[in-house]
Chains A and B, each alone.
Chain A
Amino acid sequence: MRYLLLDRILEIEAGAFAVGVKTPAMSEDYFADHFPGFPVMPGVLLVEAMAQLSGRLLAYTVLATERRQVLPVLLTVQNARFRHFVRPGDRVVLRSKLLALNENAGRCQVIAQVGEQTVATAEMMLGFDAAGESGVLPDAIREHLFSWANRVNRALLEGAKLTPPLEALEAAAC
């Protein structure tokens, strides 16, 4: 199984919210064991999907407001609730709302829904690994991850509604 738990990002509004989608397929490895004969997407993987979306929201927000590239890393998860099973083929729509932000970290509240039904909710804090004082990763690794994240982003964000538009940020970065 690959570890990208978002199929697509539909919308990001910097400083406000992001919407993403994950549709777990019956062919995902974990369904074989979780559970045999009764496939259910593991709650921890829903949390990871929430964290990945929130990470994109935070990175986009910091890029839009400060023109700074950061790598968000999951620090805390609070009040995670798994309300209903997610089954193969369910289209899970995740909404992450920015609750608070400072130079070192951001806090998000995330809701996952299948249709009208809320399947999971959680709050989480992600810290920013960036070049300089707050950096934990070796610079070379971080650079590598940035270029990887940019490539993944391009695919994930195709057709997404972005505020401000990505081109505006890229133009400013040049």
Chain B
Amino acid sequence: MSSMTNSAEEVMKIRQTADRVLATREDEIVTKVRQAVAEVLGREEEEIQPSASLIKDLNAESLDFLDLLFRLESAFGIKIPRGGIQRATQGSLTDAEFQQNGILTEAALDRLRILMPEVDPARLQPGLTVRDIPSLFTSITFARLVAWRIGEQPADAPNAAGAAAAENKA
């Protein structure tokens, strides 16, 4: 992605892509994501409430997210880009535009508000740090991520480790 791309336009596009896919497939995507989260965390599906923070409420750790991303890729036949959510979050913003001493800038918070409409705006206030971002993740965050990737996917996209390796090489 070009560094000239306007940050707000960029996130708005991601948001709209996800919204467009969810408009027709929300039930299916949310259900499958919830099942994957439940399997990864060894919980009952009923425990995966839409508002439950995977880290704070369900004790998820980083390896659970790795596991979850692999499962979602295979369940939906999608490829989640390197760095996943964090990368989508920062987009074309430079480190300095994104955070100062670990604290998110207003531009970064604006991006999060657009990208993560499922998060209570009261939690996206100045003072939030980069390290706090994963604690905002809920199953809905991942459903939106999946919807975005489905919307971005070319119709004949291959779905194999080979494709991942080729992408990494590129």
User: Given contacts A99-B74, A103-B83, is CB(A15)–CB(B161) below 8 Å?
Assistant: yes
- List the B side residues contacting A104 at CB < 8 Å: 66
Q: Mark B52-73, 1 if CB is under 8 A from A, else 0.
A: 0000000000010011011001
What does DSSP make chain A's interface, helix, strand, loop or mixed?
Answer: strand
Q: Mark B9-49, 1 if CB is under 8 A from A, else 0.
A: 00000000000000000000000000000000000000000
Complex-state Cα separation, A172 to B77, whole angstroms: 33
CB contacts under 8 Å to A, within B123-170, are 161-162, 164-166, 168-169
B70 contact from A16, A100, A103, Cβ within 8 A = A100
Contact B74 A125 (CB under 8 A): no
- List the A side residues contacting B80 at CB < 8 Å: 102
- List the A side residues contacting B66 at CB < 8 Å: 75, 102, 104-105, 125, 127
- List the B side residues contacting A61 at CB < 8 Å: 165
B-side interface residues, number (CB < 8 Å): 17
Contact A100 B162 (CB under 8 A): no
Q: How far is the CB of B114 from chain A (nearest CB, A)?
A: 25
Indicate the member of B66, B80, B82 with the most A CB atoms within 10 Å: B66
Contact A65 B168 (CB under 8 A): yes
Contact B83 A125 (CB under 8 A): no
Contact B164 A101 (CB under 8 A): yes
- List the B side residues contacting A75 at CB < 8 Å: 63, 66-67
User: Given contacts A15-B162, A102-B82, A107-B70, is CB(A127)–CB(B63) below 8 Å?
Assistant: yes
Instruction: Say whether A153 faces chain B, with CB atoms less than 8 Å apart.
Output: no
Complex-state Cα separation, A107 to B70, whole angstroms: 8
Contact B63 A101 (CB under 8 A): no
Complex-state Cα separation, A144 to B165, whole angstroms: 27
Contact A100 B161 (CB under 8 A): yes
Q: How far is the CB of A103 from chain B (nearest CB, A)?
A: 5
Complex-state Cα separation, A100 to B66, whole angstroms: 11
Complex-state Cα separation, A98 to B73, whole angstroms: 14
Contact A76 B73 (CB under 8 A): no
Indicate the member of A61, A65, A66, A99 with the most B CB atoms within 10 Å: A65
